[in-house]
C-alpha cells in the first residue's frame, strides 16, 4: 500500500470511508473560515470532546490546554460567548488542511491525523501565520455520514499571539 | 555610568495617580527598567522546583530580558546562573530544559561546574606550546555569574541584588500567607503555555492589579449571569504597595449552593450556558476564598479563580511587547474528579479563556491609542490618589497605584 516506504502508523481504509473523512475535515475548515460558527457543533457527535493543546503539553502527557470542551454544550457555549460576551478585534481565519492519514480503526471509528495551517487576518488587514499543527481525530463513520467523536488540536508552538477566540 | 533618570522622564504631579504615557514605549526607559527593577532590589520568579527535580536538571528562562539557567547542582541545591559564557558571551544552555553534569559552552568549549565556576578552557595551554591563555589567566575570575536564589513553597526566586531583604521578609506576612494557601499543599503541573502580547509589560501588570475593569471588560460572567455580586471582597497591599492581593470570599457553603442553583440565569433573556458545569466547582478553601489574584512585584502572579490555580510571569520583550508565561496546576491530593473540574475551569483562563482572553488584547489597544501622545498621562484615581488599602475591591485602582509606588521606588523617578 505504501510502496515499500517505512511509515509510522498509517493503515489502509476503504476509499469511500476516506472520502467521507476527508469531506468532514474540509467542510469543518470552511465552516469556520466562512464564519458559520453556529454549525461548528454539527460536525461532532452528541457525546464529544474538543481540545486545543500545545505540542509540548501533549507530548508530555499534560492535560490542560488552551480550550477544553468535554461536551457538546461546552462547544455551543464557546460560540455563544464569542458572539455575545467576549471582546476582541474582528478577525478571520483561513485554514489550509492537508496530509490526512488514517492511523487506526476500531469498528466504525477511525483514528485520523491531519496537518493544518491557520492564517489570521485582522480587520485592518494585518495577516500572519497564527497557528500550525496537527489534528488528532477520532471519527465515527456510519453509513454516509462522518462525525468527530473527539478532535485534539495540537499546536506546534507554545505561544498564542494575543488571544484565541475562534476555534481552530 | 548611571543615567540620570530624571532627564529621561518627568513624572506628572499627583503622585502615583497619573502615569506618564512615555514610559510604555521609550527604549531608554525600558533599558533603565532592566537595570533598576529587574536587576534591582526585587526577587524574580524563575520556575517550579519540582520541575527541576534531580541533580543536573535545568531549565532556561529570563529575569527581565536577561537569560538565566535554573538548575539543581550535584549537591541538590538550586542555582540560578546568568546564561552567558564568561568568554565571548555566548548562551551556554540552548535547550529550554535538559540535564547536564556540567555546563559547557559549545562555541569554544569553556567548561563550568553547576555552580558556574570555570573548570577548564579548551587549548588553554596552547597547541604545541604555541598560543594558549596568558600565564596570569586566573580561572577563578572568569566564572559564570551566579545569582542569589531562594526556594519557597516549591517556587524558585532569584535576585541580582545584594541589598534586597530575604524573600519572605520582602514579600511580607500577608503575601506569604496567600502563597502558602494556594501553593503550599504542593503543585502538580497540569499544563503550560504562553500568550504573546503587543504591549509594554507594565500595561499587563496594571491590568492584573485592576479590579475596576473586571466586571466591565469581561462580559462572560455578566452575559451568563454568573457574577457573585453579593460576595465580600477586598484588596490587600503589602507595605509600600509593591505586592497586592484582590480577593472575594463566600462566607458560607449556603452562599455557594445558592450560587450554583439559582444564579445561572442570563442578564439578557435567552443566554444560558448549555453546560453550566463549566462554572461549577467545590469549596476548596476553609476560609471561603473563591477568588484571589496576587501580584508579586514586579511581574509575577499567583492565581486562584474558583478551583483554577495558576502562576503567571510577564516577561518584557522590548518596549512594546511582552510574553505571559502560564503554569496551570493542581495539588497532589486531587481526586480524578477534582482534576477534571480544574481542567474544565481552565477554560476561563489563558489566551483562550472565556473570562481572561480580553486581558491579552486591551494592552495592545492602549499601546496603539497612545502612540502619538507621549507627553500625556493616564489617570489612576479611582478610590483615591494614594496607596491606602481599601475594603471595597471593585471601585478602586489602589493596587495599580501600589505598582507605581514600587516602580518609582526602584527607578528613582
Instruction: Please give the ipTM for the structure prediction.
Output: 0.94
CB atoms within 10 A of CB A90: 8
- Domain boundaries along the sequence of chain A: 6-155
Neighbours of B11 (CB within 10 A): 19
**Looking at residue B257, what is its pLDDT?**
54
Measured CA distances, B347 to A128, B37, B229, B305 (Å): 25, 33, 22, 11
With CA atoms as reference, the chain B residue closest to A89 would be B361
Give the other-Cβ count within 10 Å of A94's Cβ. Answer: 14
* A90 shares contact with chain B (CB less than 8 Å): no
CA angle A60-B116-B327, nearest 5°? 30
| Cβ <8 Å between B196 and A160 | yes
Shortest Cα–Cα distance, B214 to chain A (Å): 13
The residue among A124, A159, A163 with the most chain B CBs within 10 A of its CB, best to mutate, is: A163
Q: What are the grid coordinates assigned to B184, written together? A: 503550599
Mean pLDDT, contiguous 10-residue spans, chain B (413 residues): 80 94 97 98 98 98 98 98 98 98 97 98 91 94 98 98 98 98 97 98 97 85 69 88 93 55 48 88 93 97 97 98 98 97 96 94 96 95 88 84 96 94
Residues forming beta bridges with residue B18, ordered by sequence position: B379
pTM for this prediction: 0.94
Q: A65, B222: Cβ pair inside 8 Å?
A: no
Q: β-strand B188-197 against A159-161: which pairing, if any? A: parallel
pLDDT of residue B253: 53
End-to-end CA distance of chain A, in Å?
Answer: 31
pLDDT tens digits for range B193-224: 999 999 999 999 999 999 888 878 888 877 88
Q: Sort out which chain A residues have CB atoms less than 8 A from B218's CB and list them.
A: 87
Q: What integer pLDDT is reported at residue B265 of this predicted model?
A: 40
Any chain A CB within 8 A of the CB of B190?
yes
With an 8 Å Cβ cutoff, is B224 touching chain A? yes
Residues of chain A found within 8 Å of residue B217, distances taken between Cβ atoms: 87
* CA nearest to A84 within chain B: B223
Per-residue confidence (pLDDT) for residue B261, from 0 to 100: 46
- Find the mean pLDDT for residues A117-140: 98
A126 touches chain B (CB under 8 A): no
Question: Could you tell me the three cell numbers for B241?
Answer: 504597595
Whether A134 and chain B come into contact, CB under 8 Å, resolves to no
In the A/B pair of chains, how many CB contacts fall below 8 A?
Answer: 124
pLDDT at B220 (0 to 100):
86
d(CA A81, CA A21) in angstroms, rounded, equals 29
Q: Does B343 touch chain A (CB under 8 A)?
A: yes
Residue A43 neighbours by CB under 8 Å, 6+ apart: A24, A27, A28, A31, A147, A148
The three-class DSSP label of residue B20 is strand
The answer to whether residue B220 neighbours chain A at the CB level (below 8 Å) is: yes
Chain B interface includes A52 (CB < 8 A): yes
pLDDT confidence of residue A2: 58
Which chain B residues have a beta carbon less than 8 Å from that of A162?
A: 195-198, 351, 360-361, 364
Q: Nearest C-alpha of chain A: how many angstroms from B345? A: 9
> Is B145 touching A (CB cutoff 8 A)?
no
A67 in reach of chain B (CB within 8 A): yes
Fold of A6-155: Nuclear Transport Factor 2; Chain: A, (3.10.450)
CB distance from A74 to chain B under 8 Å? yes
For B:364-383, CB contacts with A below 8 A are 364-365
Amino acid at each position: 500500500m505504501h510502496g515499500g516506504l517505512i511509515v509510522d502508523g498509517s493503515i489502509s481504509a476503504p476509499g469511500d470511508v476516506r472520502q467521507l473523512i476527508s469531506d468532514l475535515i474540509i467542510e469543518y475548515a470552511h465552516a469556520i473560515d466562512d464564519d458559520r460558527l453556529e454549525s461548528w457543533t454539527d460536525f461532532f457527535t452528541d457525546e464529544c470532546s474538543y481540545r486545543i493543546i500545545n505540542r509540548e503539553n501533549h507530548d508530555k502527557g499534560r492535560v490542560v490546554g488552551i480550550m477544553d470542551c468535554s461536551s457538546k454544550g461546552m462547544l455551543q457555549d464557546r460560540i455563544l460567548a464569542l458572539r455575545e460576551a467576549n471582546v476582541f478585534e474582528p478577525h478571520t481565519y483561513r485554514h489550509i488542511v492537508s496530509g490526512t492519514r488514517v492511523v487506526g480503526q476500531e469498528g466504525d471509528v477511525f483514528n485520523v491525523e491531519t496537518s493544518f495551517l491557520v492564517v489570521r487576518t485582522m480587520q485592518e488587514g494585518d495577516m500572519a501565520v497564527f497557528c500550525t499543527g496537527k489534528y488528532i481525530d477520532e471519527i465515527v463513520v456510519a453509513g454516509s455520514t462522518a462525525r468527530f467523536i473527539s478532535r485534539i488540536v495540537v499546536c506546534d508552538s507554545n505561544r498564542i499571539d494575543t488571544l484565541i477566540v475562534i476555534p481552530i | 555610568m548611571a543615567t540620570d533618570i530624571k532627564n529621561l522622564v518627568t513624572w506628572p504631579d499627583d503622585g502615583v495617580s497619573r502615569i506618564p504615557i512615555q514610559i510604555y514605549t521609550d527604549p531608554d526607559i525600558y533599558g533603565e527598567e532592566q537595570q533598576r527593577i529587574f536587576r534591582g532590589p526585587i526577587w524574580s520568579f524563575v520556575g517550579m522546583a519540582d520541575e527541576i527535580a534531580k541533580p543536573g536538571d535545568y531549565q532556561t528562562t529570563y529575569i527581565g530580558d536577561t537569560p538565566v539557567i535554573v538548575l539543581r547542582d550535584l549537591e541538590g541545591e538550586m542555582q540560578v546562573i546568568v546564561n552567558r559564557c564568561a568568554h565571548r558571551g555566548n548562551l551556554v544552555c540552548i535547550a529550554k530544559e535538559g540535564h547536564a553534569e556540567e555546563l559547557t559552552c559549545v562555541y569554544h568549549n569553556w567548561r563550568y561546574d553547576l555552580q558556574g565556576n570555570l573548570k577548564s578552557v579548551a587549548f588553554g595551554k596552547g597547541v604545541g606550546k604555541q598560543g594558549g591563555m596568558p600565564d596570569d589567566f586566573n580561572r577563578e575570575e572568569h566564572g559564570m555569574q551566579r545569582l542569589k536564589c531562594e526556594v519557597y513553597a516549591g517556587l524558585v526566586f532569584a535576585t541580582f541584588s545584594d541589598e534586597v531583604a530575604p524573600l519572605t521578609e520582602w514579600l511580607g506576612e500577608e503575601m506569604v500567607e496567600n502563597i502558602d494557601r494556594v501553593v503550599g499543599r504542593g503543585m502538580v503541573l497540569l499544563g503550560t503555555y504562553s500568550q504573546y502580547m503587543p504591549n509594554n509589560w507594565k500595561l499587563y501588570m496594571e491590568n492584573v492589579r485592576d479590579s475596576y475593569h473586571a466586571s466591565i471588560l469581561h462580559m462572560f460572567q455578566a452575559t451568563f449571569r454568573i457574577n457573585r455580586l453579593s460576595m465580600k471582597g477586598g484588596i490587600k497591599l503589602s507595605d509600600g504597595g509593591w505586592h497586592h492581593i484582590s480577593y472575594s470570599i463566600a462566607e458560607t457553603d449556603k452562599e455557594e449552593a445558592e450560587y450554583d442553583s439559582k444564579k445561572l440565569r442570563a442578564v439578557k433573556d435567552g443566554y444560558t450556558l448549555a453546560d453550566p458545569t463549566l462554572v461549577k466547582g467545590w469549596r476548596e478553601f476553609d476560609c471561603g476564598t473563591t477568588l484571589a489574584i496576587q501580584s508579586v512585584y514586579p511581574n509575577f502572579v499567583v492565581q486562584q479563580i474558583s478551583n483554577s490555580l495558576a502562576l503567571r510571569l510577564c516577561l518584557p520583550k522590548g518596549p512594546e511587547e511582552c510574553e505571559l508565561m502560564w503554569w496551570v496546576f493542581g495539588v497532589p491530593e486531587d481526586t480524578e474528579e477534582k482534576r477534571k473540574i480544574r481542567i474544565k475551569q481552565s477554560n476561563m483562563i489563558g489566551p483562550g479563556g472565556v473570562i481572561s482572553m480580553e486581558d491579552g488584547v486591551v494592552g495592545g489597544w492602549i499601546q496603539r491609542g497612545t502612540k502619538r501622545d507621549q507627553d500625556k498621562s493616564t489617570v489612576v484615581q479611582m478610590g483615591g490618589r494614594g496607596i491606602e488599602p481599601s475594603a471595597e475591591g471593585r471601585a478602586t485602582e489602589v493596587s495599580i497605584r501600589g505598582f507605581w509606588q514600587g516602580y518609582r521606588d526602584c527607578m528613582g523617578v
